[in-house]
Amino acid sequence: MTLVVLAAGLGSRYGGLKQIDPITKHGNFIIDFSVYDAIQAGFDRVVFIIKPENEADFEETIGARLRGKIKVEYAYQTPDVHPDGITVPADRTKPLGTSHALLCAEKVVGDDKFAVVNADDFYGREMYMKIAEYLKEDRKTSVPTFCMVGYILKNTMSPNGTVTRGICKTNSENKLTSIVETFKIRPNANIPEGAESLEGDEWKPLDENSIVSMNCWGMTKEVFPYLSENIVRTFNAPGADTMKCEALLPTAVYEMIEAGKCEVDMLTSDAHWFGVTVREDKPTVIAEINKLIEDGVYPDDLWA
């Protein structure tokens, strides 16, 4: 099984390449903990999707120390590599979105079953265990079947600003039926629901126990053709700004569900997510990681 890590983001709000910013005294990154947990769950290969200009930094700081523990490979996300049927401005440097990032890894991933995660998110080992268990099962279904691990909204909010989350709905069989991308979410202890999001100029209540997508998926190669379709639809949508628009993986999966082209089994986790969206998040992440080390969940130095 392969772990695919989305690591080509610019980190513009963070102010630097946050994927390789150390968070422990031994110089470990959030990515290290993701790979460590994936190895414990049985993954034997990791594919980092990166920008080509970051390869030397990734190899020096991450790839080199992982070799011998797990197979390490790279895929490259560049705006000039895209499906036929769209036009991307020659001067665009912004990545084309997570659908495009995963599509760029198609040849490297090959026929292997795989999990997809963000490089700057700490998910907890439970998520990797659940996806690994799911991918190990052989299913005979009429359409491709994937899985997603959903998190409880109140366990994924940041104390340093608003967040964007995909609010998920499921049916009686615990199949994912919809993902509603919801922006500017923040805690609010003064309302029964405990959370709210900004819609236009008005704050709307949200149930803090809603299940949300954190972009962690278990997938097979059948997803790739639909990623191309999602990218074409995104860039050819009426009024689309081709300098800024992004094709997003959750949207691509939802389009597949709507068209009856796949099913997605919802797995859930009670773990607390944390990540580094802005620099103010880093002290919180460091404190959380140190607590897990003190509790014996992780060794003091992951790769010693």
How long a stretch of residues is the chain?
A: 304
Structure tokens at 100: 């495009």
Residue 68 burial (10 A CB sphere; 0-12, 13-18, 19+): exposed
Give me the CATH code for the 2-294 domain, please. 3.90.550.10
SS3 category, 175 = strand
The Cα–Cα gap between 86 and 97 comes to 14
Q: What is the mean pLDDT of residues 28-46?
A: 94
List, for residues 233-264, the tens digit of each pLDDT value: 999 999 999 999 999 999 999 999 999 999 99
- Residue 202 to residues 165, 196, 198, 199, 261: CA-CA distances in angstroms? 18, 10, 6, 5, 36
Residue with tokens 């299913």: 139
> Which residues are paired to 146 by β-bridges?
264
Say yes or no to pLDDT of 120 above 60. Answer: yes
Average per-residue pLDDT for the chain: 90
Q: What pTM was computed for the model?
A: 0.91
Question: What is the helix (H) or strand (E) element at residue 49, kind and residue range?
Answer: strand 45-50
Residue 159 confidence (pLDDT) above 90: no
Residue 129's SS3 state is: helix
Strand residues in 62-210 grouped as ranges (E): 71-76, 114-118, 121-122, 145-152, 163-170, 176-187, 194-199, 202-207
Domain residue extents for the chain = 2-294
Mean pLDDT of 265-286: 84
Distance of alpha carbon 246 from alpha carbon 235, whole angstroms: 8
Residue 61: band (very low, low, confident or very high) from pLDDT cuts 50, 70, 90? confident
